[in-house]
Amino acid sequence: MIDAHLPPSDLGRLRDEVLCQRPEAALPSRLSDYWLQLISRDLGVVLEDDDDEPEGPAAAPLALILHILSSKATHSRFAISVPELQRYLADYRIEVALELLRRRTPLDIDPATLDTIFTNRDVTVGELSQLRPA
């Protein structure tokens, strides 16, 4: 879902609204609709573009992923290989898509938690809930 009418992700605003909070705030289920749409767009650009310059659109998703990973790290510093980072980007994109489905359809999808995100978790879809407005 690459949406051209959305503004570029503002890292200062992301810092103020999400990154200054506990890592749980970076979970897709905790993001506002505004950030969920922007991050979905950014991940689409990063993961679908063959260009070797993903710095711009990658910055906000990477910041959110690193914020979440900071809660899982046993030390204040940690290393991530490029293949791991690519997997985290792809996994986060899936979680963002699942959250968009959860908000926009009657599907009752269990959102990721800090314990389950990036773990190749099983996704549980429960009974159809009432349709939530988009």
Q: What is the pLDDT of residues 39-82, one digit of tens each?
A: 999 999 888 865 555 457 899 999 999 999 999 877 778 888 99
Q: Distance (Å, rounded) from C-alpha 122 to C-alpha 37?
A: 24
Q: Is residue 116 part of a domain?
A: no
Q: Is residue 35 part of a domain?
A: yes
Structural domain containing residue 23: 11-104
Does the pLDDT value for residue 13 go beyond 90?
yes
Does the pLDDT value for residue 132 go beyond 60?
no
CA 42, distance to chain mean position in Å, is 10
pTM, to two decimals: 0.83
* Contact of 94 with 39, CB cutoff 8 Å: no
Looking at the 3D structure of the chain, how many domains does it have? 1
Q: Is residue 127 part of a domain?
A: no
Q: Is residue 110 part of a domain?
A: no
Q: Distance (Å, rounded) from C-alpha 102 to C-alpha 111?
A: 8
Q: Is residue 36 part of a domain?
A: yes
pLDDT in tens, 15-43: 999 999 999 999 999 999 999 999 999 99
Q: Is residue 19 part of a domain?
A: yes
Q: Distance (Å, rounded) from C-alpha 26 to C-alpha 53?
A: 24
Q: Is residue 121 part of a domain?
A: no
pLDDT in tens, 92-130: 999 999 999 999 998 889 999 999 999 988 888 876 655
Q: Is residue 5 part of a domain?
A: no
Determine which helix (DSSP H) or strand (DSSP E) holds 45, and give its type and residue range.
helix 33-48
